[in-house]
Amino acid sequence: MALQKAQLWLREANNQEIYDWLKPVLSQLGSSYRLRFHQNANNKPLEKPYQSAYYWGAFYYTGI
């Protein structure tokens, strides 16, 4: 149940929501990752980067 909730959240989350969720750990990431998340949140805040079945289709196919 928890995995399913996490998958659904990630699939429906937009760039700003992902950035806000990652803020506490961004300082631990490399500068290129921090910059990418920051740019995505600012330039495309409403885009849902993991909405495509490319990212979650395998979980659906295997029945997890």
User: What pLDDT digit, counting tens, does each position of 14-54 carry?
Assistant: 999 999 999 999 889 889 988 988 999 999 999 999 998 88
Q: Helix 53-62 and helix 2-12: axis angle, to 10°?
A: 160
- DSSP reduced 3-state for 31: helix
Structure tokens at 44: 């495309």
Say what the pLDDT of residue 42 is: 93
Amino acid at 20: D
Which residue in the block uniquely carries the two structure tokens 């490319």?
A: 54
Say what the pLDDT of residue 62 is: 58
